[in-house]
Amino acid sequence: MTTLSVTGGHVLLPDLTVTRADVLVDQPTGEILEVSPDLAGEGDETLDASGGLVTPGFVNGHCHVAMTLLRGYADDKPLEDWLQEDIWPAEGELTAEDVRIGAELGVLEMIKSGTTAFADMYFHVPEIAAVVEEAGVRARLGRGVVTVAKDEDAAHEDAEASLEVAAEYDGAADGRISTAFMPHSLTTVGESYLDEYVPQARELGVPIHYHANETAGEVTPIVDDHGVRPLAYAAEKGLLESEDFLAHGVHVDDEEIELLAEAGTSVIHCPASNMKLASGMAPVQRLLEAGVTVGLGTDGAASNNDLSMLDEARDAAMLGKLAAADASAVPADAVAEMLTAGSADALGLETGRLEAGAPADLAVIDLESPHLTPRHDLVSHLAYAAAAADVRHTVCDGQLLMRDRDVLTVEEAAVQDRALEAAEALAARVDG
Ligand SMILES: N[C@@H](CCSC[C@H]1O[C@@H](n2cnc3c(=O)[nH]cnc32)[C@H](O)[C@@H]1O)C(=O)O
Ligand SMILES: [Zn+2]
């Protein structure tokens, strides 16, 4: 038996308190055996967490990981113009190889910033799955379906491909990969396609993930066409089950919040993307008070422009207060929960809490820096002051993915070189 003890640090516990403790990990099963003080001599191997905070690995609840290749490619536009004028034309040129390279870069960035799991909506999903498998992270993957502006055959093919990939990859990579059916949004997938394919996704037993209520501009056409607000429409279409999770939820009214709470459908809050595209401010405090499960996501790197969940945490706290016009809204412990257990619960993962029997997905954050001194409150530091570069070690499924900032499963320099080359060639193809 091989055990790893993560020793000498403070640990963020499931009740969001912090205590001095060690974490003993069983590597063959990938589970946490024990969280308690004085486990230092217990493991076959030791991971030094002294001067650090051991937290559950962060769970990025909504991403398009291969979009790292489009980081900085098109900025400073609202969602619809940005997608239609810049992003979709560029994505039209993305090859399977590009998606592989972009996903490698994104997963590398995740490991370096303490993220151990993510939900991803994109295309060429087998490439992304291969990267997840090799890099050692956990993911819920799906193919995004768009049916507008497509002929019927192409639209059906897209939806069928999404179901097929969900069926094929669920449980892959020793269970580190799970899947979902992923209609892109309530306005970019036609009603007849939802009617046809949502029941098929249910039969398959996978959750459904989609963008919803992201901009005011996507609420109006739904009200005009269907006579109800988007989430009432989503409920009518069978898209509001307890295993489902939607991205954004910016423009939701009280009735829609109630629908989410009653259904148990989770919301992935993406504050950086919402600010950058000027989509609006999600009512996070109201969602939390209503009992909705809220997680955090970066969205793609082209609307963020990084994949750091610690940045997202700070943005969530700041924007949540501004949205509520209340400095006590979205406090540090709520942010810490969204970053870990909230996102994990939204995605239906067992991770997000450091306790015996849970998957050993964790990050060690180095606290011995000027910007993390003094250390009155480590949950406050997690929400407001820690940054990606402070992450010292990353562990997923009991395996070390990064030790002392040295990524062990991905070749850092080679991935960056490949990404630079692929991104340049892509831009040349789009412009040419
Ligand atoms: N199979 C689909 C691809 C959909 S993948 C998911 C899509 O979501 C896009 N996307 C990224 N960020 C956002 C966002 O914030 N809102 C809506 N769509 C986004 C992304 O560029 C990608 O095209 C097709 O044939 O077009
Ligand atoms: Zn998105």
Domain ranges of the chain: 3-56+352-407, 58-347
Residue 305 has pLDDT above 90, yes or no: yes
Q: Report the b/e string of 167-185 with b at 16+ CB within 10 A.
A: eebbebbeebbbbbbbbbb
124 annotated to a ligand binding site? no
Range 58-347 classified under CATH 3.30.1360.120: no
Identify which of 413, 411, 393 has the alpha carbon closest to the alpha carbon of residue 401. Answer: 393
Q: Which two tokens stand for residue 170?
A: 């669920």
Q: Calculate how far, in angstroms, residue 64's C-alpha sits from the geometric centre of ligand 2.
A: 6
111-153 tens-digit pLDDT:
999 999 999 999 999 999 999 999 999 999 999 999 999 999 9
127 annotated to a ligand binding site? no
209 annotated to a ligand binding site? no
Residues with Cβ within 8 Å of residue 35, at least 6 apart in sequence: 11, 13, 21, 22, 23, 24, 354, 355, 356
One fold for 3-56+352-407 and 58-347: no
Q: Which ligand is nearest to the CA of 91?
A: 1
Q: Is the CB of 273 under 6 A from ligand 1?
A: yes
Architecture of the domain spanning 3-56+352-407: Roll (2.30)
pLDDT at 1: 59
Q: What does each C-alpha distance from 142 to 170, 249, 341 come to in angstroms? A: 10, 20, 21
Q: Calculate how far, in angstroms, residue 185's C-alpha sits from the geometric centre of ligand 1.
A: 9
CA trace torsion 305, 310, 312, 313 (10° rounding): -170
Q: Calculate how far, in angstroms, residue 210's C-alpha sits from the geometric centre of ligand 2.
A: 8
pTM, full prediction: 0.98
Identify which of 379, 398, 317, 304 has the alpha carbon closest to the alpha carbon of residue 70. Answer: 304
152-198 tens-digit pLDDT:
999 999 999 999 999 999 999 999 999 999 999 999 999 999 999 99
Average per-residue pLDDT in the chain?
A: 97
Which DSSP letter does residue 185 get?
A: B
Residue 270 has pLDDT above 70, yes or no: yes
Q: What is the CB-side half-sphere exposure of residue 7 using CA atoms within 13 A?
A: 14
Give ∠ CA 307-312-316 in degrees, rounded to 5: 160
Give the count of beta carbons closer than 10 Å to the beta carbon of residue 379: 20
10 annotated to a ligand binding site? no
Give the separation between CA 73 and CA 86, rounded to whole angstroms.
8
Q: Calculate how far, in angstroms, residue 260's C-alpha sits from the geometric centre of ligand 2.
A: 19
pLDDT at 28: 97
The secondary structure of 105-150 as a DSSP string is HHHHHHHHTTEEEEEEEES-HHHHHHHHHHHT-EEEEEEEE--TTS
Q: Which ligand is nearest to the CA of 87?
A: 1
ipTM of the complex: 0.95
